[in-house]
Amino acid sequence: TMLVAFSFSGIAELWADFMRASGAAERVFELLDRRPAIGAGGEQLTDLRGHVRFRGVHFAYPTRPDVPVLQGLDLELRPGEVVAVVGPSGAGKSTLASLLSRFYDPRAGEVLLDGHPLTALEPEWLRRNIGMVAQEPQLFSCSIADNIRYGRPDATDAQVEEAARAANAHAYIERFPDGYNTQVGERGVQLSGGQKQRVAIARAVLKDPRLLILDEATSALDAESEHLVKDALERLMKGRTTLIIAHRLSTVANADRVLVLDGGAVIQSGTHASLMSQEGLYRRLVERQFVAA
Residues that bind ligand ATP (CB under 6 A): 61, 63-64, 69, 87, 89-95
Shortest Å, Cβ 217 to ligand ATP: 12
| Cβ nearer to ligand ATP, comparing 34 with 64 | 64
Please report how close the Cβ of residue 104 comes to ligand ATP at its closest, in angstroms: 9
User: From the CB of 18, what's the least distance to ligand ATP, in Å?
Assistant: 38
Helices and strands, counts by H and E, the chain: 12, 10
Long-range CB pairs of 97-101 (<8 Å, 24+ gap) are: 97/132, 97/213, 97/215, 97/243, 97/245, 99/54, 99/57, 99/59, 99/70, 100/52, 100/130, 100/211, 100/213, 100/243, 101/126, 101/127, 101/130, 101/132, 101/213
Give whichever of 182 and 242 is closer to ligand ATP, judged by the CB atom: 242
Distance from chain centroid for Cα 256: 19
Q: How far is the CB of 182 from ligand ATP (least distance, A)?
A: 31
User: 3-class SS at 133?
Assistant: strand
Which of residues 46 and 63 has its CB atom nearest to ligand ATP in the complex?
63
At closest approach, how far in Å is the CB of 66 from ligand ATP? 11
Question: Rounded to the nearest 5°, which phi and psi values hold at 116?
Answer: -100, 130
For ligand ATP, the closer CB: 64 or 187: 64
